[in-house]
């Protein structure tokens, strides 16, 4: 596993961005100041590297440690453990032996502890999370990954964390991690899987099912994501997203454009599409008749059963006494219709 890009020098450090849910104002700036101070102290004061307890993961061989189990631990419990984990007196200089104080700092979702004596000797450092390349904390990375891949809203989860008093990466940190690491990694994996999938179906007749998903109901949709799925394997063969601004801000056209782009994407990759099933979209039907008469176009049975149910329900609303009896078997007729079409 690698999170590096081709030009790592262009990547900003994202772990020390805005920090929410701090105990006092300006803690985000204090985190940056603490890091600068630590770097200066390390230059001035020689340290025993064996005393550093910060787990650093800088290569893919230890990537599994990033996704290790995690727990909710209270600050006071950690501080009680920290007091007993290190000597109460300075051990850096044998002539110092001054009392040691445990300093703490919250950075994103991580807690950093540092044992410092009154002379400024750093006896030990510890972080509650592994630190990756470019000072990125594993917890911030996994939180951002979980929010993105689960389809959740960052604002709602941040509110959940605020109610729980759980330290959470800020919105700027989340957006940076998503833009710099997560989306490129997901995009790369998607392309690899699609290349493997297309090579598997190369030279074979493929039967597809397609449908589009709008980001909002009615005619106010801004985006449409259209997907084409292979029926035997249930694998997504192509997926495209269309912006309403590409269609002159006409929402009724974006579904047709999404279908057209998804189909052309597969045809350009030498996929032999024998048949494709969609809903009863008039613009898609017209497109297939005029531009793709060589591909069999069918309507999916679910929409057929749905339309049949609407007609039966409308007939049952009439004033005739017998019409009301139709309501009793509306759902049964839809199931029977689906079963008959599947057998055929």
Q: What is the pLDDT of residue 250?
A: 81
**What residue ranges define each of the domains in the chain, with the CATH number in brackets?**
8-186 (no CATH), 201-300 (3.30.420.10)
Match 């939180």 to its residue by tokens: 143
Asked whether the beta carbons of 189 and 259 are under 8 A apart, the reply is no
Give me the pLDDT at residue 295, please.
93
- Give the position of tokens 């049952």: 316
pLDDT at 339: 56
* Best CA proximity match to 181, nearest among 240, 138, 241, 150: 138
The pLDDT of residue 41 is 43
Per-residue pLDDT at 182 exceeds 80: yes
Measured CA to CA, the distance from residue 90 to residue 118 in angstroms comes to 9
d(CA 295, CA 259): 14
Of 328, 285, 333, 341, which is closest to residue 308 (Cα–Cα)?
333
pLDDT beyond 80 at 9: no
157 exposure class (CB count in 10 Å sphere: 0-12, 13-18, 19+): middle
> Is the model's pLDDT at 269 over the cut of 70?
yes
- Give 44's pLDDT tier (boundaries 50, 70, 90): very low
Task: Look up residue 136 and give its two tokens.
Answer: 């990125």
State the Cα–Cα distance between residues 336 and 341, nearest whole angstrom. Answer: 9
Q: Can you tell me which residue has the tokens 């259209």?
A: 226
* Structure tokens belonging to residue 141: 């990375």
* 272-278 and 296-299 strand pairing: parallel
Average pLDDT, the chain: 78
Kind plus residue range of the DSSP H or E element containing 337: helix 330-343
Instruction: State the alpha helices, DSSP H only, in 201-276.
Output: 254-268
Q: How many other CB atoms are found less than 10 A from the CB of residue 332?
A: 9
Report whether pLDDT(290) > 70: yes
Q: Cα–chain-centroid distance for residue 323?
A: 50
Residues 135, 11 contacting (CB under 8 angstroms): no
Q: Which residues on adjacent β-strands are paired with residue 272?
A: 205
Q: What Rg, from alpha-carbon coordinates, does the chain have?
A: 30
Which one, of 256, 191, 270, lies nearest residue 224 by Cα? 256
Q: How far is CA 70 from CA 110, 224, 336, in A?
A: 12, 37, 50
Q: Is 127 exposed, middle or buried (0-12, 13-18, 19+ CB in 10 A)?
A: buried
pLDDT tens for residues 94-152?
A: 778 888 888 999 989 999 999 898 888 888 888 899 888 778 899 999 999 999 999 89
- C-alpha distances in Å from residue 34, one per residue of 38, 108, 136, 258: 6, 14, 16, 50
pLDDT digits over 318-339, tens only? 766 566 666 666 655 555 555 5
pTM (global) more than 0.75: no
CA distance 117 to 96: 9
- Residues 30-42: pLDDT tens digits? 344 434 434 544 4
Whether the CB-CB separation of 51 and 125 falls below 8 Å is answered with yes
Instruction: Please list, in sequence order, all residues whose beta carbon lies within 8 angstroms of the beta carbon of residue 68, skipping any fewer than 6 positions away.
Output: none
CA distance 127 to 106: 10
**28: Cα separation from own chain's centroid:** 25
């Amino acid at each position: 596993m690698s999170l590096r890009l081709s030009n790592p020098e262009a990547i900003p450090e994202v772990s020390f961005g805005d920090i929410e849910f701090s105990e006092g104002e300006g803690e985000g700036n204090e985190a940056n100041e603490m890091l600068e101070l630590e770097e200066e102290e390390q230059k001035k004061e020689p340290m025993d590297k064996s005393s550093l307890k910060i787990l650093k993961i800088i290569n893919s061989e230890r990537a599994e440690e990033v996704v290790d189990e995690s727990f909710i631990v209270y600050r006071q419990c950690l501080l009680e453990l920290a007091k007993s984990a290190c000597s109460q007196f300075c051990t850096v200089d044998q002539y110092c032996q001054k009392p040691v104080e445990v300093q703490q700092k919250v950075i994103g979702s991580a807690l950093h502890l540092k044992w410092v004596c009154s002379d400024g000797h750093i006896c030990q450092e510890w972080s509650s999370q592994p630190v990756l390349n470019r000072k990125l904390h594993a917890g911030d990375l996994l939180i951002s990954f979980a929010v993105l891949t689960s389809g959740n809203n960052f604002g709602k989860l941040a509110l959940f964390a605020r109610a729980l008093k759980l330290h959470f990466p800020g919105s700027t940190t989340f957006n940076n991690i998503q833009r710099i690491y997560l989306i490129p990694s997901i995009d790369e994996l998607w392309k690899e899987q699609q290349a493997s999938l297309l090579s598997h179906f190369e030279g074979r007749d493929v039967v597809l099912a397609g449908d589009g998903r709008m980001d909002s109901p009615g005619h106010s949709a801004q985006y449409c994501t259209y997907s084409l799925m292979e029926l035997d394997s249930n694998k997504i063969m192509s997926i495209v997203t269309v912006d309403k601004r590409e269609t002159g801000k006409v929402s009724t056209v974006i579904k047709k454009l999404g279908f057209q782009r998804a189909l052309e994407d597969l045809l350009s990759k030498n996929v032999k599409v024998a048949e494709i099933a969609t809903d009863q979209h008039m613009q898609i039907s017209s497109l297939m008749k005029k531009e793709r008469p060589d591909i069999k176009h069918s309507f999916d049975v679910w929409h057929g059963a749905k339309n049949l149910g609407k007609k039966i329900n409308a007939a049952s609303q009439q004033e005739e006494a017998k019409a009301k009896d139709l309501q009793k078997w509306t759902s049964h007729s839809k199931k029977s219709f689906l079963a008959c079409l599947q057998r055929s």
